[in-house]
Amino acid sequence: MTSMRVSGSTRIPQVQVSPEAISKGRVALILSITVFIALACYYFVGVDEGMTSIFGKSMVIHEWVHDARHFLGFPCH
């Protein structure tokens, strides 16, 4: 919802944000999803190798993100 405020000869639009758009529950949900995705990316790029691999003894994920590991400074060989 917008309203117009007249200041001299120009009109300045005023934007009103509803309280439901930025509720604490929504912020907590978005933050927790973001943290989960970030930790999953960190695991697959930095940790998924050898004994801690969730895909067994294959190095598929390691080879798939190999260049990203070097770019981010993770040692791998």
Given a contact cutoff of 8 angstroms between Cβ atoms, the answer to whether 15 and 2 are in contact is yes
pTM of the model: 0.58
What gap in Å lies between CA 77 and CA 75, rounded to an integer?
6
Q: For residues 64 and 42, what is the distance between their CA atoms, to the nearest angstrom?
A: 14
Angstrom distance (rounded) from CA 32 to CA 50? 28
For residue 7, pLDDT beyond 60: no
Mean predicted lDDT score pLDDT of the chain: 78
d(CA 18, CA 58): 50
The per-residue pLDDT for 52 is 66
- pLDDT tens for 23-60 read 888 899 999 999 999 998 888 787 777 666 776 777 77
Give yes or no for a contact between 26 and 33, defined as CB atoms under 8 angstroms apart.
Answer: no
